[in-house]
């Protein structure tokens, strides 16, 4: 069976690896990298350190406005599909790469399989929410990580082709978590003690493109008495430099560092006291690692992490964020909500038997 897999952003590189390993045992996979993430620290390093197969196509789309970027992807993906004539197209998550892959395949009447189907934040101001909804409604196979995702699809009238398989990021976290503890030296390199810091990430446009929001978050970081390690997304770093907001954290305990690879990031997550993030994937990784997560958003597509008590939403309320940094301390162990670590196997089996 010939399968085109479409990826373009850091989380998709991570999600695709365990599935690719299963698919390639008995199928031909054609890996297409749209180039949505093109900075070396957001792209190449993941392929190198995780052993992700080299892309058969790198479309080099790069950055741009939502419409411009998606249009370039759509045109280039269509050309690949016309040339390769695959039996199915496999897409991941909720990025513009996901949307473009889904639309290109659906319009060519090629079956679409969506990993992480059924997620909903119920906030259509988020571009990712639009991407998820459209991708799900044109997909033929919908691989859901949780029962909540299955229920979301049912509420939208989608029941055919829906499979509850668990979460591929849990597969990856199990596989690479032990490796990270054994091999990563990022704590030594950054002179950090285990459980001696908070870890922060900010990349969503609602925070990076809204100067008031970003300012409030940085002010909270700066006023905290904890060391905060902040691997800065290239887009966020550009905003900080162009607006002068980086001056807010000068002299504070906030430490700006370049983005790190997946192995090093897992080590940072596993050893953090708390994680502050607007990333969906990082919310889950915090949950897997039993590290309290403070989400810098009003909504989340991973409602299970909030309902379980290990994640709390604060958006950009500076006072609430400082309060939760000081007081949010879940007890016990997170429930097993994201499958048994074999989601990739189930996806490969179902996809190749369709």
Give the gyration radius of the chain's Cα atoms.
Answer: 20
Number of domains composing the chain: 2
Asked if the structure places residue 289 within a domain, the reply is yes
Whether residues 186 and 321 fall in one domain: yes
Angle between helices 343-353 and 10-23 (to 10 degrees): 60
Query: 10 Å Cβ neighbour count for 209?
Result: 11
Asked if the structure places residue 173 within a domain, the reply is no
Q: Which two structure tokens, joined as six digits, stand for 271?
A: 């050893």
pLDDT tens-place string over residues 294-334: 999 999 999 999 999 999 999 889 999 999 999 999 999 99
Residue 203 annotated as catalytic: yes
pLDDT for 323: 97
Whether residues 231 and 298 fall in one domain: yes
Distance of CA 229 to the CA centre of its chain: 19
Say which CATH number the domain at 213 has: 3.40.50.2000
Q: Which two structure tokens, joined as six digits, stand for 340?
A: 């048994």
pLDDT for 39: 52
Asked if the structure places residue 31 within a domain, the reply is yes
pLDDT tens-place string over residues 178-194: 889 889 999 999 999 99
Whether residues 146 and 206 fall in one domain: no
List of residues 6+ apart from 321 with CB closer than 8 A:
217, 220, 276, 294, 296, 314
pLDDT tens-place string over residues 240-256: 999 999 999 999 999 99
Domain of residue 13, residue span: 2-167+339-353
Whether residues 293 and 346 fall in one domain: no
Instruction: Select which of 33, 203, 233, 315 is catalytic.
Output: 203
In the structure, what pLDDT confidence band is assigned to residue 175 with cuts at 50, 70 and 90? Answer: confident
Which of 6, 16, 351, 10 lies closest to 168 in space, CA to CA?
A: 16
Asked if the structure places residue 332 within a domain, the reply is no
In the structure, what pLDDT confidence band is assigned to residue 143 with cuts at 50, 70 and 90? Answer: very high
Whether residues 250 and 153 fall in one domain: no
Whether residues 61 and 90 fall in one domain: yes
Does the pLDDT at position 37 exceed 70?
A: no
CB 106 within 8 A of CB 29: no
pLDDT tens-place string over residues 100-133: 999 999 999 999 999 999 999 999 999 999 999 9
Asked if the structure places residue 333 within a domain, the reply is no
Whether residues 234 and 315 fall in one domain: yes
Whether residues 148 and 276 fall in one domain: no
Asked if the structure places residue 172 within a domain, the reply is no
Q: Please give the Cα distance from 294 to 53 (Å, whole number).
A: 34
Whether residues 283 and 349 fall in one domain: no
pLDDT for 192: 98
Whether residues 6 and 153 fall in one domain: yes
Asked if the structure places residue 119 within a domain, the reply is yes
Beta bridge partners of 107: none
3 state DSSP class of 248: helix
Whether residues 245 and 347 fall in one domain: no
CB 115 within 8 A of CB 351: no
Whether residues 21 and 159 fall in one domain: yes
Question: For the chain, what is the mean pLDDT?
Answer: 93
Q: Please give the Cα distance from 16 to 52 (Å, whole number).
A: 8
Asked if the structure places residue 334 within a domain, the reply is no
């Amino acid at each position: 069976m010939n399968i085109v897999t479409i990826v373009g952003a850091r989380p998709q590189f991570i999600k695709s690896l365990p599935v690719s390993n299963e698919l390639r045992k008995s199928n031909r996979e054609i890996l297409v990298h749209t180039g949505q993430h093109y900075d070396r620290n957001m792209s190449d390093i993941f392929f190198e350190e995780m052993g992700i197969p080299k892309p058969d196509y790198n479309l080099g789309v790069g950055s741009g406005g939502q419409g411009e970027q998606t249009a370039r992807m759509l045109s280039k993906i269509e050309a690949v599909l016309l040339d390769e004539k695959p039996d199915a197209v496999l897409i991941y998550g909720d990025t513009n790469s996901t949307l473009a892959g889904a639309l290109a395949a659906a319009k060519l009447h090629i079956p679409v399989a969506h990993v992480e189907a059924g997620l909903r934040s119920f906030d259509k101001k988020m571009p990712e929410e639009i991407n998820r909804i459209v991708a799900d409604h044109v997909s033929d196979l919908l691989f859901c990580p949780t029962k909540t995702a299955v229920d979301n699809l049912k509420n939208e009238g989608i029941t055919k082709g829906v499979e509850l398989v668990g979460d591929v990021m849990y597969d990856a976290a199990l596989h690479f978590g032990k490796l990270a503890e054994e091999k990563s030296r990022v704590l030594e390199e950054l002179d950090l003690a285990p459980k001696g810091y908070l870890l922060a990430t900010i990349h969503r446009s609602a925070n990076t493109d809204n100067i008031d929001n970003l300012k409030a978050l940085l002010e909270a970081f700066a006023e905290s008495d904890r060391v905060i390690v902040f691997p800065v997304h290239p887009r966020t770093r550009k905003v900080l430099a162009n607006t002068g907001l980086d001056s807010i954290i000068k002299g504070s305990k906030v430490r700006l560092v370049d983005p790190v690879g997946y192995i090093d990031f897992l080590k940072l997550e596993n050893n953090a006291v708390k994680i502050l993030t607007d990333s969906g994937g990082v919310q889950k990784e915090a949950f897997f690692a039993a590290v309290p997560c403070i989400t810098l958003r009003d909504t989340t597509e991973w409602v299970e992490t909030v309902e379980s008590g290990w994640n709390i939403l604060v958006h950009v309320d500076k006072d609430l964020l400082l309060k939760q940094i000081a007081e949010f301390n879940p007890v016990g162990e997170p429930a097993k909500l994201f499958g048994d670590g074999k989601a990739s196997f189930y996806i490969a089996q179902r996809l190749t038997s369709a």
